[in-house]
Amino acid sequence: MPAPTKDSRMNVRLRAADDELIRRAAEQTGQSLSEFLTTAAIERAHEVLADQRDFVVHEGTWDEFIRLLDEPARPDPRLVELFARPQRITR
């Protein structure tokens, strides 16, 4: 099956040093510049949008989720002990 036709185009302006860096990275991966930029941009777009999506849950699941959020936090003895230790790094 032939690859889908690419019918959209993007143009970017960037500093010469950034251009060289991207070209070297594309070459290192064995991808064309276009493939490298497209892949990197799509991966980043998925990362950015991952937290922006709608999540659909059943009403009972939602009610349980809200109930758990409304409960007072229980202290974790390991965290209490960790934060009781003297700080090694000071500002």
Return the domain boundaries, the chain.
16-84
Cβ contacts of 26 within 8 Å, gap of 6 or more: 32, 33, 35, 36, 37
pLDDT averaged over every residue in the chain: 91
Between 62 and 90, name the one with better pLDDT.
Answer: 62
State in Å, rounded, how far the first CA of the chain is from the last one: 61
Predicted confidence band of residue 6 (pLDDT cuts 50, 70, 90): confident
**pLDDT at position 22:** 97
Name the pLDDT band for 70 (thresholds 50, 70, 90).
Answer: very high
The answer to whether residues 51 and 59 touch, using CB atoms and an 8 Å cutoff, is no
pLDDT, residue 42, reads: 96
Predicted confidence band at 57 (pLDDT cuts at 50, 70, 90)? confident
